Amino acid sequence: MTDIWENYADFKSNSILSSRYYAFIAACFKEGIKTVAGSTVFENALDIACGAGDNTLLVADYAKTVTGIDSSEEQIKKAKSNPALEKIQFEQADFLSYLPDRQYDLITAAWFHNFIHHEADHKKVAKKIASALADDGAVVFLFPSDSFTSVKSTDYFRRLDWQQAWYENQADSVRGLFSFQGSPWDIMTCWQPLFLFEKYQPYFELHFLDTKKLCVEGGFVDESYLNPTFEVMYGRKRKGL
């Protein structure tokens, strides 16, 4: 069976436009981690849906020990073969069935929530993250924004060689198919950001990063740019959980 993520690393750098888009994502993800870390360094961290480890490397700047998990065998293989990531532990695992062997001070997840397709699973994920998080532990989540499914975004992504087609619109989500650089089509569910806030806030004191401000201050605005197509939500575990 073909792993749809086999060529993802190539896709992310296949053009100046792609590289610039993913550089902005990395900058915002890192800003979220920096915000929850402050002047401290976390003892250990877990990066969910770590892929080939690009974002996990950013986590490692703020934690002494880092574990990355991803359901893609191909992505984990690439992460383990990267000398720059040799101090990070990588495991192939689906977080819904993953059994953490410790509690973490920081748990991060980028482009993970859009592969949760059922509302009930968000409660399971939220509870599992909270139980795997140490007291006063921190979380950073990056996921699609309201603008991700817009016509303008779809046209923009097509220039990156990312195709998407949306076929189901609900009050709290939009579901569709995506393919990049000729990969097999797969399903993605884009949940409304405030829906995710509502589902996760019983377990975490949450805030949203101002991605538009970072876009401007980081010099990512140009004639081809659009409103940021993702949100960064961060916070701390609620006391008493």
Partners of 168 in beta bridges: 175
**Under a CB-based contact definition with an 8 Å cutoff, are residues 66 and 44 in contact?**
yes
pLDDT band at 79 (very low <50, low <70, confident <90, very high): very high
- Express each pLDDT in 128-157 by its tens digit: 999 999 999 999 999 999 999 999 899 999
CATH homologous superfamily of 8-146+192-237: Vaccinia Virus protein VP39 (3.40.50.150)
Q: Tell me the pLDDT band of 61, cut-offs 50, 70 and 90.
A: very high
* Per-residue pLDDT at 221: 84
- Neighbouring-strand partners of residue 173: 191
- The mean pLDDT of 97-103, rounded to a whole number, is 90
Can you tell me which residue has the tokens 């924004």? 145
Residue 231's nearest CA partner among 59, 81, 98, 114 is: 114
1/21: higher pLDDT: 21
Residue 1 has pLDDT above 80, yes or no: no
Tell me how crowded residue 195 is: count the other CB atoms within 10 A of its CB: 15
pLDDT recorded at residue 241: 77
Which range, of 17-21, 101-105, 141-145, 219-223, averages the lowest pLDDT? 219-223
Residue 4 has pLDDT above 60, yes or no: yes
Two tokens, residue 237: 């575990």
Q: Mean pLDDT for the chain?
A: 94
Which tokens belong to 145? 């924004």
Residue 64, SS3? Answer: strand
Residue 141 and residue 3: Cα distance in Å, rounded?
Answer: 24
Do residues 194 and 231 touch, judged by C-beta distance below 8 A?
Answer: no
Tokens representing 96 are: 């819904």
Residue with tokens 């979220």: 32
225 — pLDDT class (breaks 50, 70, 90):
low
- Angstrom CA distances, 105 to 127, 132, 184, 201, stand at 15, 9, 36, 18
What sections of the chain are H helices per DSSP?
8-12, 16-37, 54-60, 73-80, 119-132, 151-159, 193-200, 211-217
At residue 206 the predicted structure's pLDDT band, cuts being 50, 70 and 90, is very high
Note the pLDDT tens digit of each residue in 25-56.
999 999 999 999 999 999 999 999 999 999 99
Phi, psi of 60 (to 5 degrees): -65, -20
For residue 223, pLDDT beyond 70: no
Beta strands in 80-211 (DSSP E): 89-92, 104-110, 133-144, 162-169, 173-180, 186-191, 204-208
pLDDT band, residue 81 (cuts 50/70/90): very high
